[in-house]
């Protein structure tokens, strides 16, 4: 996902949008084009070299955005080199606050959400507020997140448990199915929101503010809701459509979708004026294993934060007013 | 997923195969038929009652298989009631060993595997041995597990890391893609195995022993391999086809597929002679959160074990010779 | 730790301060006295009965403070019964905010802190602010917490890593030892703070506001600081001295000290006017295992929250101004 | 803890037993002596230099035992660099098996055990068998491990739960206290074992085989047992006495004691014939956080394995017959 240059007709040319899931095709106009492997066509001139240090006309600039001030001392021994729940996250919050304030106007912020994100009334309200305030230009999730959020909007429960009092309501395990059925009868999430006069939650805010969302199907879905894309590779394409404009991606409590988003997000973007800027990628989860797995899968330029995403979003919403 | 009886024409009738993802339709012959909600048809006589204690002709027998000897004392206070890494698992291993010895001949054992299961040479060999010895009648996984396992079979690596020495090989991050490409060129996993003369690993043992497998697609897939089902709801149907015969299900290191399997597995089976037997469901993961989540999702009759699945399978293979 | 009544001379008498680590001695005046097992003396009239339902003059009231409104429905099946990172914590924050506002004036709040709590500049400032504002009447921790916090106060690092920028400083792994040495040379933490003119952090705020603290020694200590109690059973006694007045206990990111505090905290307190009130016990940790272990050890009346304690304290400090 | 050389009177001399918790004193005979900071005396000639590359007469050989064959490729990009539950552990088991076979005769193996290690009948038997077979030359644990193990030996429970069937026994939460009381009455663990004719478990095997053990007190102890050392710094000294001879240290399911042992274990040993050999240090835990924390604390030469320690010991005992 790093900036990669190709020597084409004697010129080193930067490929826009280099990603982990793609190859590079040299087009007739001599430009390098980043194409998902699945979409390569017979006859494409695919760059096949596997060297990265300009030996064969390929140069990978893996530290292009590294801040030289960030380099640590050259000591042989240093405590605390990894990131864990014990990492100091104060500066990460400050930077993210500053970043999102900038990106609201000048960038494109995509949120990726795990199935349980809407279980807490407060976190759900915080996220909805961030969307209402313009901090969300695209959302990616699965059937469960949308269903739980809409159950909250209509019945104030998630899987039958009150999202504020934590109390299970009688027969509440049917709520989930009832929501699926009602939305399906309405034909779409916006129609459901309209018909039932809903006014709160994440999906509501997306619809109200015209924020595009992609719901990818998964093997554990009930329903699904009408908008859910059953074919995972078509869902990838839809996700890519949203991520193509992203300049900041924030993944919350989902290993599956975080890795998916990591695979298809470049670490930089070429702007219209030809200048190059970083794409920021955050992964937030309560478990070190999940955020480390992202790094194990190669998404090295991500900023990982280890905390409950409910609190993460509470804190952000409190700062981004 | 518990045994559920319906009073039809004055008779209490047990529905075969009751599952969490399904409703019950009364057919013309007066028999209750368990139908996945997605497959209900207009005109079906669906049982709508939501009571469970025979008030409206529905009786849920949620503790039908509970062992009365297992009941603890009625003390108001007892230490250590949950299951965690500190639970004593010795008896669970003994019971599972005994169970699988029985099921090999008289039952049907389905394994559900997470993407990383094939990362360790020893665990991979152990699993292959269990398949070869007849302890696997069906396997359910995703694209990643199969790709990693086949990378191990051809190149002795997984994501470019040697599966025994842990050493990354040069250019190894291409291995994954090379495997995808080669299998696709061969047209199928069995053809790939044949063409390259592979003789080890999980997929090899499945093919060699005619064990059916279902590979469900997911949003983070590369490739995919030819056998992968892109439409998750079709993949669910295929999975159900395998689980329909299962009498024991063992899920290893996969939250997504474990919940999926839990949704579609009944806690009992009606045999040909009309007798009823339990369906055993095991979920094994290094993280309490994953196995507890299964319980949170309602799969209450599962046995959960908290350990690294590599060691779990090493121990089983050592006992089930 | 529940309210327990003893029939003495025909009267049912409530023992004040019933705890897990103690027995009950009937004193000459006929009053039940709760005595730590280690401090029983030959000749003490210890209550030996092990029944709890008044059969032998002992009555344990294990649900004395249960809110009848909290009872869930009697459904045979309910999703999501445990507490995990996916529990809705919004109400817990609201209740805790309200509780601490009340306790500041009318109760006694004791904080129990794990070794890494002071690693983040923001969390450290938040905790110091809560102390300054009167929300802390006692603190219990180990040598590490105090040393890390004082390293932050003097050098703005913890184990050599800047507590805001996360950058390791050159030779920073000596900072820890330098702090130990300097405090020891000064003779005490207050003297160290005075001599070096320190004005920030947790220990500073404790000293400034006259909040008593107990630092218990542990097997992994360097140093230790002068105030650290090397004998763990004397440290228990000192801790008990602080907990004897506590009406709310909040444990942050420490399994060891959380279990220790749980062992010696009753679930109720008898006030001077003879009325009985609950003692609130919170345990906050990023890992379900830690908070569940508290429950496994029998501290059933605790409220557990699963999150990074840095964020927990940020949110509290933001609300409790 | 790495080999460190000091230039004394023109000669580069290796300090024996260099550890994290110690300074180096040059003795009158010109030899460097490694002394725990707490035990430095006024007038000692302590080496004060903080450089490590021979600039000031100090040379730290941090990669002295690195295997050149282990070096990976110089690729800019490599998957899976950390160690987690997904690391391939097959070779680690093979190496450890080989190592312990060697160390039984030619080395000194010290085990460090967390409080819950004895909760499982099978794991407890496996550990006892390893001791009986000569694979344990010293054991370090806390009060809880010994109490739980002796509860298992006498009552076949741990904290009142049967260590095989997992069933709580009536009144079982008293078992723990009963054991403490009985051992205290006997005066020592060996006396207790003798008086009650116990013949199984970890402590039994230690006593039977004359394996020295150190039980360090902790703030959460009941009891304690007579052998427990209440003063943690005296406990450290006792632990050091055992570790001084260790050539392999294996820590199981204890963050506290693992870090403690890491602090006081050198990475090498100078043998009588002047040759230098590595000291092997293993840390095994179900949680990545625990084993990573060891690395964060600087014990870089440890081998970490992520699994349930019950299974780890089952597998080892099966191989080391």
**CB–CB contact B163 D90 (8 Å):** yes
Contact B255, B285 (CB under 8 A): yes
Q: Which of A88, A93, A171 sits opposite C75 (nearest CB)?
A: A171
pLDDT of residue A74: 66
pLDDT grade, residue D72 (50/70/90)? low
User: Among B240-249, C255-264, D68-77, whose mean pLDDT is lowest?
Assistant: D68-77
Helices (H) and strands (E) in chain B — how many of each?
Answer: 10, 15
Which chain D residue has its CA at the smallest distance from A295's CA? D80
How far, in Å, CA of C262 to CA of C264, rounded? 5
The average pLDDT across A160-167 equals: 94
Q: Using CB atoms within 10 A of its CB, is residue B74 exposed (0-12), middle (13-18) or buried (19+)?
A: exposed
User: Among B245-249, B295-299, C198-202, D100-104, whose mean pLDDT is lowest?
Assistant: B295-299
| Per-chain mean pLDDT for chain A | 92
Residue % of chain B over a pLDDT of 70? 94
**CB–CB contact D311 B312 (8 Å):** yes
Q: What is the β-pairing status of strands D248-252 and D109-113? A: parallel
Question: What is the C-alpha R_g of chain A?
Answer: 21
Among residues A99, A22, A60, the alpha carbon closest in space to that of A282 is found at A99
Q: Which residues of B touch C60 (CB under 8 A)?
A: 76-77
| Per-chain mean pLDDT for chain D | 92
How far, in Å, CA of C178 to CA of C64, rounded? 51
Q: Which of B79, B86, B296 sits opposite C79 (nearest CB)?
A: B296
Which chain A residue has its CA at the smallest distance from D63's CA? A76
pLDDT of residue A37: 87
Q: Which residues of B touch A21 (CB under 8 A)?
A: 222
Q: Which residues of B touch D318 (CB under 8 A)?
A: 318
Contact C223, D261 (CB under 8 A): no
pLDDT of residue C272: 87
The pLDDT tens digits for A199-216 are: 999 999 999 999 999 999
Helices (H) and strands (E) in chain D — how many of each?
Answer: 10, 15
Among residues A162, A78, A88, A148, the alpha carbon closest in space to that of A113 is found at A148
pLDDT of residue A296: 62
pLDDT grade, residue C42 (50/70/90)? very high
Judge whether B297 is closer than 8 Å to chain C, CB to CB. yes
Residue A226 scores a pLDDT above 90: yes
pLDDT grade, residue D189 (50/70/90)? very high
Q: Which residues of A touch C123 (CB under 8 A)?
A: 90
Contact B61, B279 (CB under 8 A): no
pLDDT of residue D37: 87
pLDDT grade, residue D77 (50/70/90)? low
| C-alpha separations of A57 from A5, A24, A267, D77 in Å | 8, 13, 21, 18
The pLDDT tens digits for C95-135 are: 999 999 999 999 999 999 999 899 999 999 999 999 999 99
Where helices occur in D107-231 by DSSP H, the ranges are: 121-132, 143-155, 175-186, 189-195, 202-209
Residue A190 main-chain phi, psi, to 5 deg? -60, -40
Q: Which residues of C touch D224 (CB under 8 A)?
A: 233
For tokens 């000048």, what's the residue? A106
Residue A30 scores a pLDDT above 60: yes
The average pLDDT across A38-67 equals: 88
The average pLDDT across D278-293 equals: 89
Contact C261, C280 (CB under 8 A): no
Smallest CA–CA distance, residue D264 to chain C, in Å, is 9
- What contacts B11, CB < 8 A, 6 or more positions away? none
How far, in Å, CA of C3 to CA of C267, rounded? 7
How far, in Å, CA of A258 to CA of A251, rounded? 6
pLDDT grade, residue D297 (50/70/90)? low
pLDDT of residue A291: 80
- What contacts D172, CB < 8 A, 6 or more positions away? B73, B75, B78, B79, D157, D159, D160, D161
**CB–CB contact D116 B91 (8 Å):** no
Q: Global pTM? A: 0.94
Q: Which residues of B touch D179 (CB under 8 A)?
A: none
Among residues A147, C184, D52, D192, the alpha carbon closest in space to that of B37 is found at A147
pLDDT grade, residue C154 (50/70/90)? very high
Q: Which of A174, A232, A289 sits opposite B221 (nearest CB)?
A: A232
Tell me how many residue pairs between chain B and chain D have CB atoms under 8 A apart.
Answer: 165
What does the DSSP 8-state code read for residue C14?
E
Q: What is the C-alpha end-to-end distance of chain C, expressed in Å?
A: 33
Q: Which residues of D touch A76 (CB under 8 A)?
A: 52, 60, 62
Which chain A residue has its CA at the smallest distance from B240's CA? A219
Mutation target vs B (from D73, D75, D77, D90; most B CBs, 10 A cutoff): D90
Residue D272 scores a pLDDT above 90: no
Q: Which helix (H) or strand (E) holds A148?
A: helix A143-155
Residue A68 scores a pLDDT above 80: no
The three state secondary structure string of B144-171 is HHHHHHHHHHHHCEECCEECCCCCECCC
Residue C82 scores a pLDDT above 90: no
Edge to edge, what strands does the sheet with D303-306 contain?
A: D213-216, D138-142, D109-113, D248-252, D280-285, D303-306
Among residues B227, B240, B253, B263, the alpha carbon closest in space to that of B313 is found at B253
Residue with more model confidence, A308 or C73: A308
**CB–CB contact C311 A306 (8 Å):** no
User: Among B55-69, B189-203, B276-290, C104-118, whose mean pLDDT is lowest?
Assistant: B55-69
Q: What is the β-pairing status of strands D138-142 and B248-252? A: unpaired
Judge whether D117 is closer than 8 Å to chain B, CB to CB. no
pLDDT of residue C83: 83
How far, in Å, CA of A121 to CA of D222, rounded? 41
Cis omega (within 30 of 0) on the bond before C224? yes
Residue with more model confidence, B159 or A17: B159
Phi/psi-derived region of residue B210, left when phi > 0, alpha when psi is between -120 and 50, beta in every other case: left
Q: How many CB atoms lie within 10 A of CB B71?
A: 9
Instruction: Say what the ipTM of the complex is.
Output: 0.93
Phi/psi-derived region of residue A152, left when phi > 0, alpha when psi is between -120 and 50, beta in every other case: alpha
Judge whether B62 is closer than 8 Å to chain C, CB to CB. yes
Q: Which residues of C touch B86 (CB under 8 A)?
A: 293, 296
| C-alpha separations of A248 from A213, A262, A282 in Å | 16, 12, 8
Please list, residue by residue across A58-87, b when 16 or more beta carbons sit within 10 angstroms of its beta carbon and e when fewer do.
Answer: bbbbbeebeeeeeebeebebbbbebbbbbb
Question: In the numeric block, which tokens belong to residue C280?
Answer: 């609130």
pLDDT of residue B20: 84
Q: Using CB atoms within 10 A of its CB, is residue B61 exposed (0-12), middle (13-18) or buried (19+)?
A: middle
**CB–CB contact D75 B171 (8 Å):** yes
How far, in Å, CA of C121 to CA of C149, rounded? 10
Q: How big is the CA angle at B301 (ends B296 and B305), to the nearest 5 degrees?
A: 75
The average pLDDT across A22-50 equals: 92
pLDDT grade, residue B313 (50/70/90)? very high
- What contacts D219, CB < 8 A, 6 or more positions away? C216, C218, C232, C235, C236, C239, C256, C257, C260
């Amino acid at each position: 996902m790093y900036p990669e240059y190709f020597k084409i007709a004697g010129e080193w040319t930067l490929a826009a949008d280099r990603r982990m899931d793609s190859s590079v095709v040299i087009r007739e106009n001599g430009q390098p084009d980043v194409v998902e492997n699945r979409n390569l066509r017979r006859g494409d001139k695919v760059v096949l070299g596997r060297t990265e240090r300009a030996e064969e006309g390929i140069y990978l600039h893996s530290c292009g955005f590294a801040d030289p001030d960030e380099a640590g001392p050259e000591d042989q021994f240093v405590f605390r080199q990894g990131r864990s729940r014990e990492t100091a996250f104060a500066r990460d919050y400050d930077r993210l606050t500053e970043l999102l304030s900038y990106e609201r106007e000048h960038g494109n912020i995509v949120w990726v959400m795990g199935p349980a994100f809407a279980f807490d009334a407060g976190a759900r309200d915080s996220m909805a507020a961030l969307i209402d305030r313009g901090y969300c230009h695209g959302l990616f999730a699965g059937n469960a997140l949308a269903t739980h959020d809409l159950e909250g909007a209509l019945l104030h429960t998630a899987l039958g448990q009150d999202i504020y009092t934590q109390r299970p309501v009688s027969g509440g395990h049917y709520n989930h199915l009832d929501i699926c059925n009602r939305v399906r009868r309405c034909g779409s999430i916006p129609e459901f929101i309209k018909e039932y006069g809903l006014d709160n939650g994440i999906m509501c805010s997306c619809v109200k503010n015209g924020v595009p969302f992609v719901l990818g199907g998964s093997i554990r879905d009930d329903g699904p809701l009408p908008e859910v894309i059953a074919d995972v590779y078509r869902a990838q394409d839809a996700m890519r459509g949203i991520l193509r404009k992203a300049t900041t991606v924030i993944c919350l409590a989902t290993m599956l979708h975080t890795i998916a988003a990591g695979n298809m997000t470049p670490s930089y973007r070429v702007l219209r004026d030809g200048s190059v800027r970083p794409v920021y990628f955050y992964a937030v989860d309560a478990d070190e294993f999940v955020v480390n797995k992202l790094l194990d899968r190669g998404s090295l330029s991500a900023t990982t934060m280890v905390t409950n995403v409910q609190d993460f979003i509470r804190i952000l919403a409190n700062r981004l007013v």
